[in-house]
Amino acid sequence: MFRRFLQRFFSKDLNIPQKLLDNIRELENFLRYSFTDKHLLLQALKHRSYVAGSGESRKESNERLEFLGDSVLNFIVGKHFYEQYSEKQEGELTKMRSVLVSGGNLSDTAREIGLGRFILIGEFEERSGGRDKDSILEDCMEALIGAVYLDGGIERTSKLIERIILVKAVEKFGSKKYSNYKSELLELVQSYGFSPPTYETVNTEGPEHEKTFTVNVLINGNIIAEGIANSKKKAEQEASAKALDLISNDENILKMIKVSEE
């Protein structure tokens, strides 16, 4: 019942131009999933730069579907690992899930299915290579998952995720490329008995389509490292990676944290 409510909330009774319909059908062939409500798929493909250029409201972009898809993806991947790896503890399962739901893995998966050429983006993003930007691909991948969930339910979404994401899980677990530095930092910090790290966005620069975020990671109120990237998620990961390196190689960092805790 709740899914049906969400479906009505996202769906729009609008005509879809033939060219877009052709693109949608081609993408559906890649996904091996046919949408009952084509408008959901269309919305999942709309980057905010496209919506701004077309004069539509920002809520017509894929951002809300991205939010929903992120939650659905975490649930399905977590449930799969819980059922398939009964011998593993919570910490190990969390690490495994973080690899598959990481931005790096999602953007690479989007490239594998050719998602970039179907995304609807603004003219400037088009010229600046937006179709292959990690952040845009990651967000669209999550939005696509959210759209499939609203259109077909949890079982069909699970099948899609199994086919395009979980199928390569084992080979990706050992890859440093998909490391979740935030999770690793949290585990390390808690092993010393400290409170979990916090993240603070201290600066945002650039136009809407090409923002740069500066994020600090703090432990017990101490700024440990800074990350700069084109999304908050990436900036947090970069700051976490730097913090891990500092804590592992500089004893003075640990001493500073301990003193502040006291």
Strand arrangement, sheet containing 198-205: 198-205, 212-219, 222-229
Q: Please state, in angstroms and rounded to a whole number, the distance separating the CA atoms of residues 216 and 243.
A: 10
Residues 171 and 87 in one domain: yes
Structural domain containing residue 18: 2-178
Q: Work out how many domains the chain is built from and give that number.
A: 2
Residue 34: count of CB within 10 angstroms of its CB: 13
User: What's the pLDDT tens digit per position in 86-95?
Assistant: 998 887 788 7
CATH no. for residue 255?
A: 3.30.160.20
% residues pLDDT > 90 (the chain): 42
User: What's the pLDDT tens digit per position in 92-141?
Assistant: 788 788 888 888 899 999 999 999 999 999 988 888 888 999 889 999 99
pLDDT at 12 over 70: no
Whether this model's pTM surpasses 0.75: no
Residues 160 and 220 in one domain: no
Residues 161 and 219 in one domain: no
Residues 201 and 133 in one domain: no
Residue 199 has what pLDDT?
96
Residues 165 and 225 in one domain: no
Active-site residues: which are they? Answer: 70, 142
Tell me which range, 144-158, 195-209, 241-255, is most confidently predicted by mean pLDDT.
144-158
User: What's the pLDDT tens digit per position in 194-209?
Assistant: 889 999 999 999 877 6
At 8, is the pLDDT very low, low, confident or very high (cuts 50, 70, 90)?
very low
pLDDT at 67 over 70: yes
Largest CA distance in the chain: 66
The answer to whether 178 and 105 have CB atoms below 8 angstroms apart is yes
Residue 5 has what pLDDT?
45
Q: Please state, in angstroms and rounded to a whole number, the distance separating the CA atoms of residues 134 and 172.
A: 17
pLDDT at 58 over 90: no
Residues 46 and 117 in one domain: yes
Boundary of a domain, candidates 134, 161, 178: 178
The four Cα atoms 75, 78, 81, 86 give a dihedral, to 10 degrees, of -110
Residues 224 and 256 in one domain: yes
The CA distances from residue 8 to 2, 51, 78, 142, in Å, are 10, 20, 27, 19
Residues 157 and 187 in one domain: no
Ranges assigned E (strand) in the chain: 198-205, 212-219, 222-229
Residues 40 and 150 in one domain: yes
Residue 253 has what pLDDT?
78
Residue 3 has what pLDDT?
52
**Comparing 184-188, 209-213, 251-255, which segment has the lowest mean pLDDT?**
251-255
Residues 89 and 17 in one domain: yes
CATH no. for residue 71?
A: 1.10.1520.10
Residues 65 and 13 in one domain: yes
Q: Please state, in angstroms and rounded to a whole number, the distance separating the CA atoms of residues 235 and 93.
A: 24
Query: How many angstroms from the chain centroid is the CA of residue 68?
Result: 11
What element of type H or E holds 187? helix 181-191
**Comparing 68-72, 151-155, 216-220, which segment has the lowest mean pLDDT?**
216-220
Residues 211 and 83 in one domain: no
pLDDT at 175 over 50: yes
Q: What is the mean pLDDT of residues 25-44?
A: 91
